[in-house]
Chains A and B, each alone.
Chain A
Amino acid sequence: MANIVIDNIKKSFGAFQALKEVSLTINDGEFVSLLGPSGCGKTTLLRIIAGLETATSGDIRIGDRSVISLPPKDRGLAMVFQNYAVFPHMTVYENVAFGLRMQKADDARVKKQVEKAAGLLHIEPYLDRYPNKLSGGQRQRVAVARALAVEPGVLLMDEPLSNLDALLRLEMRTELKTVLQAAGTTTIYVTHDQTEAMGLSDRIAVVHDGRIEQVGTPVEVYNHPATRFVGGFIGNPPMNFITMPVTGGKVAIGSQQFAVPATGGEIVFGLRGETVERAPNGQGLDMQVRVAEPMGSHLLLTGSILGQPARVILPATETVRNGETVGLTLDPKRLTWLSPESGASYPAAA
């Protein structure tokens, strides 16, 4: 068990800056996701923490010990790889035992730890098999068991679920959460899948273009995105961004008036699609509905608000026809205000 401090890590590949001064502190026992689109630098950051990649500058401390110049084996961590990286020439038992054997643990301890890890991940029936006789999901379990068997201070996971089919992914996600909560291991989890990050994490670090855009609990990141990118990346449908003129510190949206943290010029308001309610006829903010899609659990409307593209969600009980105009009531507490120039959001109103 250990905390991790990522201190001003920079990484360049030639002229390309993969990471631009990234700093992040992860508390002991915390589960933090690095969430971002592919190519944003999140995997590079994870590999630098693991010691598989060298940083151009900066420091990594695990449990208050600088590990930046140590080889991977001396960093006291374990890792689950995207393609599992289960050793094909070893049985499942030997795979799970690998880390312990390298630590020169005696046979009794190896047996105990392997059985414990195998039990957590339900792979006892396969211990004598070779990985080529296992399905993708089973290999994934072996990879996680191998990592947990050494009882690492830090567990790194690189998109561990991305190679599984959707149903299996959901199942493994639930299971991972249970297993990791029981183990209490400090975990860094790299993913591009926002639902995985939202569901599993204590905190999410949203990575974009070599920078961490925001760090926060899933609810914070969802409700109060720090930047336009975060709001657009997280949530399905993504946050709507609508630019409005400001007059005298106020914005008139439909029939509603909002006090905004700007005095003039323009401001962008970020609107989560499911925070609106249908207004009584002829009131509220008008939305021109191009397509209405009844999804069963809700009704998804795609169209435009004030001439700008938007997607909102209404309860499944509403009926809207394609081409209709509907009035929407906004909840001032759930709006996010952003600067149109920087894309950064203003602090949430108290």
Chain B
Amino acid sequence: MSTVSNTGFVPARRLLFWSGIVALCAWVLVPIYLVALGALGGRSGAYQWPKNFLPTNVSLQPFLLFLKTEGVLQSFLNSLGAAGITVALSIALGAPAGYALARYNFRGKDSYRLLVLLTRAFPLAILALPLTVSYIRLGLYDTVLGVGLIHTVLALPFAALVTQGIFLGVPRELEEAAWVFGCTRIQAFFKVVAPLALPGLVATAVFAFVISWNEVFAASVLTVRHRTLTAYLLTVLSESPMHYRFAGGLMLILPSVVFIFAVRRYLFAIWGISSK
């Protein structure tokens, strides 16, 4: 009897398992696929309804044409630049803060942590005008560096708090062992803590990258000619034909997907940190 119910149960579970996987994949992939279809199917493809699920007369032509449109490539590079600055600065500043929060006890530690989060409670819209004025005075207005800096401000609180958790996950004894066996504090950090925290730091970097890549408000306010891709597309695409919009959408999606795909090994390894 039990064998009968077993054989009935196992395929049902497997079916559930795989249908779950299919549903999750579809959830992510179908929109991307449709955007790609619109971007690569040309004018007719974008307006066609009902959609052909299989791509017909695919051509890179409209996509390339879109890339050649004035400003697109430049704004794409601007976005990469701003995201690069954001990633570099939020790791360079956030990781030490996270390390300090994880390893040291100091007066006001909890209030400091709260303060870090509170910076995110302040609406950016209120800051827009004073920020623009200061940026003009400082000569940062309409520069990639300026956008990168403001994106760093947005990403930094998360970077500090997330890295704190990551450093807490690296057992203190490992660091102490490194000290005893001849390391200075700094050497111990780079030889023992950093390699073990790397997956988490990479995840933090991805997070900072995505924050910067998707941010549109500050980038729109603080730039005129040196727009990031999101800011640029927001202003340009409303007047563009449909397949251009799809091409723009695809361009917004692809770098994040490629980036996350490239570092996926580290993202998965984040649960593999182990002292044992």
Contact = CB atoms under 8 A, between A and B. Distances in A.
Given A85-B174, A88-B275, A71 B179 contact: yes
A91 to B, nearest CB: 13
- Interface size of A as a range: 20 to 34
B276 interface: yes
Contacts, number: 66
A329 interface: no
Nearest to A89: B195
Given A81-B173, A87-B192, A89-B196, A50 B180 contact: yes
Given A88-B196, A89-B195, A89-B196, A83 B180 contact: no
Contact of B176 (A85, A88, A103): A85
Contact of A132 (B174, B177, B276): B276
A89 B196 CA distance: 7
A99 B173 contact: no
Interface in A96-113: 98-99, 102-103
Interface string B144-177: 0000000000000000000000000001011011
B274 interface: yes
Interface stretch (B29-37, B47-55, B181-189): B181-189
A146 interface: yes
A349 interface: no
B182 A77 contact: no
Interface string B253-276: 000000000000000000000111
Contacts of A72: 176, 179-180
A27 B183 CA distance: 27
A88 B181 contact: no
Given A85-B177, A87-B174, A88-B274, A99 B182 contact: yes
A303 interface: no
A79 interface: yes
Given A81-B176, A89-B196, A73 B171 contact: no
B181 A102 contact: yes
Contacts of A102: 181-183, 187
Contacts of B192: 87, 89
A5 interface: no
Contacts of B274: 88, 132
A131 B192 CA distance: 14
Contacts of A99: 181-182
Contact of B181 (A52, A83, A139, A146): A146
A73 B276 contact: no
Contact of A131 (B179, B183, B276): B276
Contacts of A88: 174, 196, 274-276
A52 B196 contact: no
A79 B276 contact: no
A189 to B, nearest CB: 16
A150 interface: yes
A87 B177 CA distance: 9
B181 A98 contact: yes
Interface string A161-190: 000000000000000000000000000000
Nearest to A73: B182
A78 interface: yes
B196 A78 contact: no
A81 B179 contact: no
A87 B195 CA distance: 10
Nearest to A158: B173
A34 B270 CA distance: 39
Interface string B180-224: 111110010000100110000000000000000000000000000
A52 B173 CA distance: 10
Contacts of A71: 179, 184
A82 B177 CA distance: 11
B195 A52 contact: no
A73 B183 contact: yes
Nearest to B185: A71
A30 B171 CA distance: 31
Contacts of B196: 88-89
Interface of A: 50-52, 71-73, 77-79, 81-83, 85, 87-89, 98-99, 102-103, 131-132, 139, 146, 150
29 contacts: A50-B180, A52-B179, A71-B184, A72-B179, A72-B180, A73-B179, A73-B182, A73-B183, A78-B181, A79-B176, A79-B177, A81-B173, A81-B177, A83-B173, A85-B174, A87-B177, A87-B178, A87-B192, A88-B196, A89-B195, A89-B196, A98-B178, A98-B182, A99-B181, A99-B182, A102-B182, A102-B187, A132-B276, A150-B181
Given A52-B176, A78-B181, 13 more contacts: A51-B180, A73-B183, A79-B180, A81-B173, A81-B176, A83-B173, A87-B174, A89-B192, A98-B182, A99-B182, A131-B276, A132-B274, A150-B181
